[in-house]
Amino acid sequence: MNIEVMNGLLTPKSVAVVGASTKPGKIGHTVLMNLIDSNYAGGIFPINPKAEEILGLKCYPSVLDVPDQIDSAILTIPAKFVPDVVVQCGEKGIKGLNIITSGFSEVGKQELEHHIVELAHQYGMRILGPNIVGVLSNSDKFNGSFAPFLPLPGSGSLVSQSGALLIGIDAATYLRKVGFDKLISIGNMSDVNFSDTIEWLDQDENTTCISLYIEGFKDGRKVIEAARKAKKPIIGLKAGVSAHGAAAAASHTGSLAGAAKIYKAAFRQAGIIEAENLDNLFDRTLVLSLQPPMKGDNLLIITNGGGVGVLGTDAAEKFGVPLKYAPEDIQAELKKYMPPFGSAKNPVDLTGMADTDWYYGSVKYAIAHPWVDGLVVLYCETAMTDPQEIAQCIKRAIKDSGVKDKPVTISYVGGEKSEKAMHWLLKNGIPAYGAPDLAINAMAALNEYAKIKEAVNDLGEDIDNVDKQKALEIIKKARADGRNALTEIESKRVFEAYSLPVTRSELTTTKDEAVEVAEKFGFPIVMKIVSPDILHKSDAGGVVIDIQNVDGIRKAFNEIITNAKTYNTKANIHGVVVQEMAPWGTEVIIGSVNDRTFGPTVMFGLGGIFVEVLKDVTFRVAPFSKKQARQMISEIRGAPILAGVRGEKPCDREAIANIICKYAFMIIDLQDEISESDANPVVVYEEGNGLKVVDARIILKKK
Ligand code: ADP
Ligand code: MG
């Protein structure tokens, strides 16, 4: 990222409005008016060959006629004129182009969009947009957009892929009292995209927290990289979680890999805090822009009402920061600030008798106590207390405690007086919310942020004993047959090349051959159909397990071939695979998709109905460390089954973590070849006894 160019684009010292219009209501007029109205101190140069002067500013026929230097040009002209103007801007030495104009890739004109980016890059310029609302910055008093006014000042900055939403959010900042420094509309992201804006906002001294409204990343890996490196909290609201990926899915993993789960994984790996909805984006932006991270898990709640205390307690559990009883010394001290019927356990209930002195004393003591990692103060409006005085005493208590590195969030439940007091708190840097669960959710975001940042460096593991050449040969052979699907036995050979433990298997084409292999492996035996046209072998009656003798082999051979031919008369049948039968164990699934946004991504879950019905699976974008693999195993809902329930011994989870890492290595190593794959099931044994892949499937990328 060229910082000077990006500065020119996002905090220009001077701007040209190309397409400035004399007609009120036109975007080219509105943008000019907004620049003037926002008290922008830099030079403003309207460009319009047909006008002398607009809104009191001298007009120029083209940017090349402007005598002064120009940092950025805002383009509001029709799409067809954009390429010529880009060249003029380049000649003029302009750094960045904010292209408001629409009519590019969003209406299918990818080539035109591509063309203007190429032109801009020839001159070292960057393009924001096209199809944007513009850029708004409070600290620069710069409204270079057609949104009517600057947002309520604050220190969060928002990057939005939707222009209309950005305008809505702009206005809503005043109603919600959540301030922003910058609002950046990135539209079609032809050039400047999420990763650039994250990188730039991370070094922007007026931004303390970065909020993203995302419809889809263009290059997910670059965003992950940028977010990992960022030193400021990033919050992501992902919209459109249903429209993605799942459509053309040949493997199980493919059909389970909706956008929601993969984005969730990517956010976590990138250290991006998720916002659940627009409300949550505001709430979390507020807290993350104002408060430090919550570095441990000890949350203390101080309240004057049992009801909000219980609601807070429920929320704490729901949002992942469950309450623990406060240590004895805290309890002993806090008892001084409550009547005998109060409770100092946690939540600390000062009771309805709580006045400013009690709030002051308890808050000041609690926030400074080393056990406390985060403090939530709840208040219900009462007849005896003044909400504003309570707010002031909380603020004073925090200040007098001298503590600056621990977070505090507040919730008021009450009427207009409470509303006013909360606004006062916000202005004083303390996030306050109208319900206890919101204050707790905000605190949970600070806790998540601390944890998530720890995990961003959990990167890949190196794997020994890899025979990539062997894998590529198998793939090449299938491609030579004109196939995109590998058979089970081919897939297993590829897995073997990456040291994944698969059941011994051999392809046979006659009954005699099958008998020979079975006797070599020893009984019991499993036999299955081998056909690139039959992906789900059981559905075709193509799997026979637990075969005990030679007669069984002969019988199964006939049965499998007959069933397959009935199932699909056109199926190309390679033969029947004879394989060792894995002893009974717990079935899990490991799979992969080559996601179009994030690339190679690994899935893990329990097998059988857990995956079929409950879709109890989790994802990680590869590569990732064994620590992350272990986390995958523990975060699925079915985790207790692997940990051992009701006296059963735990499964070999370490073996699962190992194979997940090998799998991740494999799909990265073969990312040019493999589109989707799965090992379904993998049979896992008791701790120390390993596991076996009994079924394998690889779908190749179309070439
Ligand atoms: P498909 O998924 O194509 O229907 P599988 O190869 O997964 O076929 O076989 C179906 C089921 O049979 C598996 O889920 C597993 O429970 C069992 N199975 C398959 N192969 C073996 C094996 N080698 N050892 C033990 N059980 C097996
Ligand atoms: Mg299977």
- 356 CA from centroid of ligand 1 (Å): 68
Q: What is the pLDDT of residue 246?
A: 41
Task: Indicate the pairing of strand 153-160 with strand 408-413.
Answer: unpaired
Nearest CA to ligand 1 atom 4: 538
CA distances in angstroms from 565 to 134, 435, 482, 558, 562, listed in the order given: 62, 64, 21, 11, 5
> What string of DSSP letters covers 433-464?
ESSHHHHHHHHHHHHHHHHHHHHTT------S
Site to probe by mutation for ligand 1, drawn from 538, 560, 609, 678 as the one with most ligand atoms within 8 Å of Cβ, is 538
Nearest CA to ligand 1 atom 18: 694
CA distance 188 to 112: 12
- 682 CA from centroid of ligand 1 (Å): 9
Is residue 168 within 8 Å of residue 158, measured between CB atoms?
no
Instruction: Please name the residue that has the structure tokens 């090449």.
Output: 476
- 578 CA from centroid of ligand 1 (Å): 12
Nearest ligand to the C-alpha atom of residue 591: 2
Token readout for 702 is 């179309």
Nearest CA to ligand 1 atom 2: 536
Q: What is the pLDDT of residue 252?
A: 53
Q: What is the pLDDT of residue 298?
A: 98
CA distance 676 to 593: 4
Q: What is the pLDDT of residue 609?
A: 75
Nearest CA to ligand 1 atom 16: 681
577, β-bridge pairs: 507, 528
Site to probe by mutation for ligand 1, drawn from 695, 698, 699 as the one with most ligand atoms within 8 Å of Cβ, is 695
Measured from the CA of 582, which atom of ligand 1 is nearest? 24
How crowded is the C-beta side of 429, counted as CA atoms within 13 Å?
10
Ligand 1 neighbours by CB, cut-off 6 Å = 503, 526, 528, 536-538, 543, 545, 579, 581-582, 681, 694-695
- 464 CA from centroid of ligand 1 (Å): 28
> What string of DSSP letters covers 303-329?
ES-HHHHHHHHHHHHHTT----PPPHH
> What string of DSSP letters covers 334-389?
HGGGS-TT-B-SSSEE--TT--HHHHHHHHHHHHHSTT-SEEEEEEE--SSS-HHH
- 591 CA from centroid of ligand 1 (Å): 16
What is the mean pLDDT, run by run of 10 residues, along the chain of 703 residues?
94 98 97 98 97 97 97 97 98 98 94 98 98 97 98 97 96 95 97 97 97 92 96 93 47 60 92 96 96 97 95 97 97 97 96 96 98 98 95 98 97 97 96 97 97 85 90 97 94 97 96 97 97 92 96 97 95 96 96 92 89 86 93 94 90 97 96 96 96 97 91
Q: Measuring CA to CA, which residue among 152, 142, 158 is closest to residue 41?
A: 142
CA distance 512 to 522: 15
Nearest CA to ligand 1 atom 6: 695
Q: What is the pLDDT of residue 567?
A: 96
- 681 CA from centroid of ligand 1 (Å): 7
CA distance 113 to 83: 9
- 681 CA from centroid of ligand 2 (Å): 6
Put the strands of the sheet holding 209-214 in their side by side order.
142-145, 134-137, 180-185, 153-160, 209-214, 234-238, 272-274
- 449 CA from centroid of ligand 2 (Å): 38
Site to probe by mutation for ligand 1, drawn from 503, 505, 517, 543 as the one with most ligand atoms within 8 Å of Cβ, is 543
Nearest ligand to the C-alpha atom of residue 501: 1
The distance in angstroms from the start CA to the end CA of the chain is 33
Measured from the CA of 583, which atom of ligand 1 is nearest? 25
Nearest CA to ligand 1 atom 20: 694
Burial 260-272 (b: 16+ CB within 10 A, else e): bbbbbbbbbbbbb
Measured from the CA of 528, which atom of ligand 1 is nearest? 6
CA distance 437 to 433: 9
CA distance 575 to 530: 5
Site to probe by mutation for ligand 1, drawn from 545, 577, 581, 677 as the one with most ligand atoms within 8 Å of Cβ, is 545
